[in-house]
Amino acid sequence: MIIPLIFQLLGIGLIIILAVGVLSPFESMGWWAGWSEESKPELPEVEPPQETPGNTEPEFNHYVVYLSGIGAISGDFLENYEIAFLDKVEARVPGTAVVRDVFPYSMNNNGLTGHRAFKSLWQRIKDLKLKNKQMLANLVMLRNVFQVAVSADRRYGPIYNFGTCGVILDGLRRKGYRVGSGIPVTLIGYSGGGQVSVGAATYLGPVLKAPILIISLGGVMADDPGFVNVRHLYHFHGQKDPVQSLGQILYAGRWSILPQSPWNKAKAEGKITMIDAGPVTHQDPGGYFLQSEEQKEKGEHTQDRLIDAIVEIVNHPTEVVNITSVEQISEQDDHKGSPLQ
């Protein structure tokens, strides 16, 4: 009795996954085709250089944009531990603006609880999430994981990544960034946000004409053509995080047998630094942001070391920071050495 029921449930689950997957490209494709009435895809505007001498000094000399993981519901809703992480980083990077209201899994920064079909379903899931009931939050992950796959797909990526480039540009502008100013931009992408960052770099490069750095926190990334516009990628990988290695397994362009792939070319050019993030998992607590009870008991402060490493990178946007492990940071602090190459 129970076995057929299990198979039926598995079948229903598979059909739901396939349905979500098959429909996943239509949001960005429909947006591109102009089917969505709310807003149309537009080319980004590059402001001419300011001529008034009094206004030439920019408020910030570096911009950081945070792109959340596949559990994200909207740009204005981050987990508490993500907010705490960004607060800590922001406090230690003077002169750097931190953009934290970008939703990387839709066009136009339209969060799942924004104006869209099934808005009430996503709102209900968000409410449950706030009450720590995570079961239905898996639907958000399923939806967003397919958006990451859309970004990485060579058929849909060119359009999806154009959309997210626009979303990131809007976020930068909200913080006063002037396109054409050449001010460096660092994208911090957690999980699926890593792929979205690299994908968006495809267009951010020609639009910004500024150094683009990517800090990937357990990012799942494909061999995206956007790597050509990335000045440097710092990929933090947790010792207990098998999810971040999915990109390396699933995308042939990340295998060493294809040396001409964008990933392998970037690697050969020394544009990718792999950093051991210590004993962290993909999800929190115990992940890249929040210390777990077990870590507290053991006296492990890996997440703090991670912040130290990120601060070091963000404070040197035009240089390559030579870190291979977050533990290295504390050792270097002890010896007053510099991790800069």
Partner 1 sequence: MYTIDTSSFFHFFQTLWSLATGAMRLDPAAFTAMDTSGTGLLAATILFLAGVSEALGQSVVLLANRVKPGRFVLSLLLNGILFIVSAFIWGATIWGIATLVYHTHEPFTGVMKSVALSYAPLLFSFLTLLPYMGTFINRLLSVWSFLAVLVALEATMSLNIWQALVCAIFGFVFLLVLKYTLGRPFIALEHWIRRATAGVSSTVEVKDLVEKITEQIVENPKGGKS
Which residues are near partner 1 by CB under 8 A? 18, 21-25, 29-30, 32-35, 40-46, 146, 149-150, 152-156, 158-159, 162, 180, 202-203, 206-207, 225, 250
Q: CB of residue 44 vs partner 1: minimum separation in angstroms?
A: 6
* 137-152 helix and 2-33 helix, angle to the nearest 10 degrees: 50
Of the chain, the end-to-end C-alpha distance in Å amounts to 65
Residue 4 beta carbon to partner 1: minimum distance, rounded to whole angstroms:
20
**CA distances to 188, 242, 275 from 281, in Å:** 18, 8, 14
254 secondary structure, DSSP code: G
**Residues contacting 99, CB < 8 A, separation 6+:** 63, 64, 65, 66, 168, 171, 172, 174, 175
Rounded Cα distance, 290 and 239, in Å: 15
Residues 6+ apart with CB under 8 A from 76: 101, 111
Residue 165 near residue 203, CB atoms below 8 Å: yes
**Rounded least distance, CB 204 to partner 1, Å:** 10
Least distance from C-beta 97 to partner 1, angstroms?
22
Q: DSSP E strands: which ranges in 177-271? A: 185-190, 212-217, 232-237
Alpha-carbon distances, residue 142 vs 22, 123, 135, 214, 326 (angstroms): 12, 16, 12, 24, 31
Give 157 or 317: the residue with its C-beta nearer to partner 1: 157
Closest CB to partner 1 among residues 16, 33: 33
Shortest approach of partner 1 to residue 17 CB, angstroms? 10
Contact 314, 339 (CB under 8 A): no
> In the complex with partner 1, which residue's Cβ is closer, 149 or 321?
149
CB of 169 to partner 1, least distance (A): 10
**CB nearer partner 1, residue 150 or residue 326:** 150
Q: Rounded to whole angstroms, how far apart are CA atoms 216 and 302?
A: 16
Give the nearest distance from C-beta 170 to partner 1 in angstroms: 12
Strand-strand pairing, 185-190 and 212-217:
parallel
Q: Shortest CA distance to 146 belongs to which of 53, 19, 237?
A: 19
Compare residues 29 and 121 and give the one whose CB is closer to partner 1: 29
Task: Pick the closer one to partner 1 by CB: 31 or 289.
Answer: 31
Q: How many CB atoms lie within 10 A of CB 1?
A: 4
Task: Please say which residue, 74 or 161, places its beta carbon nearer to partner 1.
Answer: 161
Shortest Cβ 24–partner 1 spacing (Å)? 6
Q: Which is nearer to partner 1, 152 or 187 (CB)?
A: 152
CB of 110 to partner 1, least distance (A): 18
Residue 47: burial class (beta carbons within 10 Å; 0-12, 13-18, 19+)? exposed
Please identify, using beta-carbon distances, which residue of 122 and 203 lies nearer to partner 1: 203
